[in-house]
Amino acid sequence: MARTRILLDETSPYRSRRVIVEYDSHTTAAYLLDPRGQVRVPVWLANHEMAPETGDPSGLYAGQAPLMPSDFTRHPQGRPQLDPDRLRVVWFEEGDGVALLDDDGLLAVIPGWAEADRGLPGYSREAIGRSAYAWALDDVAAQLWPRVVHAEAYWSWRAAPGAWRGVQRSVFNHLKAVGPAGHYWDVSDGHDPLIRVSERPPTPDRPYTVLSTVGMCGQRMPTLDRYMADTSAYARIELALATTTPAHLAARIFRWLGTFPWRAVTWFGPGHSVKWMESGEDSPLRGNHTAVLLVSDPGVLAGPSWAPPPDLSGLSFHGDPVNWLWVVPITQPERLFAKEHDAETLIAKLAAEGRSWILG
C-alpha cells in the first residue's frame, strides 16, 4: 500500500470545516471535513500514473483516492506530483466552501453546495466532464473565479487593523435609534465570527430592554446559495430580543445563537426555528422552551401598543441589506406545529393566543 503524504491541511476561520490535500504516489485528492473529521466532500486532483479505463470511486469517500478513469482526466498518462509549497487555500467568506490554488491559478473548488452523498463532488482543473470523482473546473471557472477574488479581498479586509471596529461602529451607531446603550458583552470567546451583544435598557417610552447582536452582519451566512441564485437579500443578519427579565441573563442566549450559523454551517431566515442548545448558564431563561422562532415582524404578536418594536431597518453592509430577526422562545409542541404546518401559521396561532414578542 502506498504511503500517504499530507500536502496541505488548513481549518476554516470559523473552525467548522477543514481541508486536507493528500498524495499517495498514485493520486492526489482533497477532502473537505466537518469538525468531527468526517469527509463531507472529496475531490480528485490528479493521477500520477497511467489511468485505468474504469474505476470504483467508493474509496474516495473513505479518504482513499482511486485513479481517475482515462476518459475523465486531462493527463491519462499521469502527471508529476503537486508541489505543496505552491499550494494555497482561499476560504469563501461564508466558510462553507474553499478554493485551492497553485502558481497556475485555480486548481480546485469545493463550493458550499457540493455534497458527496448527493453525488456532487468538487471541481478540479485536471478533470474532464462529470464523474463521481470530480467535475470539470473549466465549465464553471468563469462563474466561480469572482467568488474566489471576493473571498481573498474579504479576508484581506478582515486582517486589516480596524476592520472589526468598523463593523462594530456601523451596527452600534444604527442602534442609537433604539435608545441609550447599556452593557456590552462578548459572546464569541474571541474566535471568528466576532459577536457582541448590546443592551438598550428600558426608557420612559419603552418598558422593555432590547438586546441586539453586534457583528453577525460582518460575514455572510453559509449555505444560502444552495437555495437561491441571489443571496444578497438574506445573507446578512443581526438578532434582537426584547425582554423584561434581567438583561445579563437574557443575553446568555446569544452565546450559542449568535455564532450558530457559522459553527453549524447553516443560515437563519424569517420564520426559521432553531433548537435550543443545552446550556446550564441560560436554564433560568429557557424554562419550558426548547427552541427559538426567528421573526422579522414581531409586532404581529401581543405587546404594548404604545411601545411597538423598534424599526431597525435601513442598515446595509458591504452592499447587502442587514435584516434584524427577533428571537421568540417557543415550546416543543409549538416547534412541532411549525414543522407540520409552517412558521406563518404558528405565528398566527401564537398571536391568537395572545403570545407576546417580549420575553418575560
Tens-place pLDDT, residues 202-242: 999 999 999 999 999 999 999 999 999 899 999 999 999 99
| Residues 359 and 241 sit within 8 Å (Cβ to Cβ) | yes
Claim to verify: residue 176 and residue 230 sit in the same structural domain = yes
What confidence score (pLDDT) does residue 280 get?
62
pLDDT of residue 213: 98
Strand, helix or coil for residue 314: coil
| Claim to verify: residue 177 and residue 249 sit in the same structural domain | yes
Where a domain ends, among 135, 157, 179?
157
Do 270 and 144 have their domain in common? no
In the chain, which residue ranges form alpha helices assigned H by DSSP? 141-159, 163-174, 247-250, 254-257, 260-264, 283-286, 332-340, 343-352
Give the domain range for residue 221: 162-353
Location of C-alpha cell 420612559: 204
Q: Please say whether the beta carbons of 72 and 133 come within 8 A.
A: yes
The HSE-up count of residue 299 (CA atoms within 13 Å, CB side) is 9
pLDDT at 318: 93
DSSP bridge pairs for 5:
23
What amino acid occupies position 124? S
Residue 2's pLDDT is 60
Asked whether residue 337 falls in the same domain as residue 209, the answer is: yes
Query: In terms of domains, do 147 and 176 share one?
Result: no
DSSP code of residue 114: -
Of 130, 157, 184, which one is at a domain's C-terminal end?
Answer: 157
What would the grid cell of residue 222 be? Answer: 453559509
Q: How many structural domains are present in the chain?
A: 2
Q: Does residue 360 lie within any of the structural domains?
A: no
What pLDDT was estimated at residue 275? 93
**Confidence at 281, pLDDT banded by 50, 70, 90:** low
Shared domain check, 166 and 151: no
Q: What sign for the dihedral angle of Cα 59, 23, 122, 219?
A: positive
Q: What is the DSSP letter of 55?
A: -
Last residue of a domain, one of 157, 172, 189: 157
> pTM for this structure?
0.93
Same domain, 231 and 151: no
Task: Identify any residues that bridge with 39 across adjacent strands, giving them in sequence order.
Answer: 33
Give residue 256's pLDDT band: very low, low, confident or very high (50, 70, 90).
Answer: very high
